[in-house]
Homo-oligomer: A and B are copies of this chain.
Amino acid sequence: MWQHAPMPDTPPPPVRRGPGRPGYDQETVLRRAVELFNRQGYDATSMGDLARELGLTKSAIYHHVSAKSDLLAQALDEALGALEAVIARAGADDHRSAYERLRATVSGSVEVLIAHLPAVTLLLRVRGNSEVELAALERRRRIDDDFAAMVAAAVDEGALRTDLPPDLISRFLFGMVNSLAEWVRPEGRYDATVIAASLTTMVFDGLARDGRAG
């Protein structure tokens, strides 16, 4: 789950590739762009801002990036692809109960959120202002539907308590996972596996010590 290195505090120096002009590999350009989008908003960021961020001239930036929306599309695809993989992995395991698949999906979503924090943060802010954003929202909606179906399957199996409306359960779980983007930092006190395990334990097993009545 930790394929992507955590964001360093200071950006790495640009790779020099010609006399006086910094060169960047595509991954570095993408990472720096996503940081900038998250800092000042995608819509408010111009190609000129991006050039300044990378220490390039306004014309040199086009050697690296054909359009701002390409970077957005790549970042959203990174986040969505990682979330879809969690759902697909859980669905592929026939030996597990619906309940176990749901737990694995919640835990896996937390790990993906932390491993791909900048891209997921960008995804969570998408409001549908362009074709790229609308397509991402549509993919996100399918993930939501798959997730809601998993909750329903766990309810049908009799594994979940019956006094909570299943659609509220889906909303709560999504909200809970997504809210981590507000405060989790890669250099934070707890690593992703501890956060994922703790959140999953809280929502499925409850904070109250066993035997305590609600």
A147 contacts partner chain B, Cβ-Cβ < 8 Å: no
A104 contacts partner chain B, Cβ-Cβ < 8 Å: no
**B contact residues around A161 at 8 Å (CB):** 201, 205-210
Known contacts A178-B179, A179-B179; A208/B164 CB under 8 A: no
**B contact residues around A202 at 8 Å (CB):** 164, 169, 172, 203, 206
A10 to chain B, nearest CB (A): 23
Whole-angstrom distance between the alpha carbons of A175 and B195 in the complex?
Answer: 13
A212 contacts partner chain B, Cβ-Cβ < 8 Å: yes
Interface size class of A (residues with CB under 8 A): 35 or more
Chain B proximity mask over A79-118: 1 for CB below 8 Å, otherwise 0: 0000000000000000000010000000000000000000
A1 contacts partner chain B, Cβ-Cβ < 8 Å: no
When all copies of this chain in the complex are counted, the total is 2
Known contacts A165-B190, A175-B183; A203/B201 CB under 8 A: no
**B contact residues around A159 at 8 Å (CB):** 208-209, 212
A102 to chain B, nearest CB (A): 9
A169 to chain B, nearest CB (A): 6
User: What is A's interface to B at a CB cutoff of 8 Å?
Assistant: 99, 158-165, 167-169, 171-172, 175-176, 178-180, 182-183, 189-190, 194-195, 198-199, 201-210, 212, 214
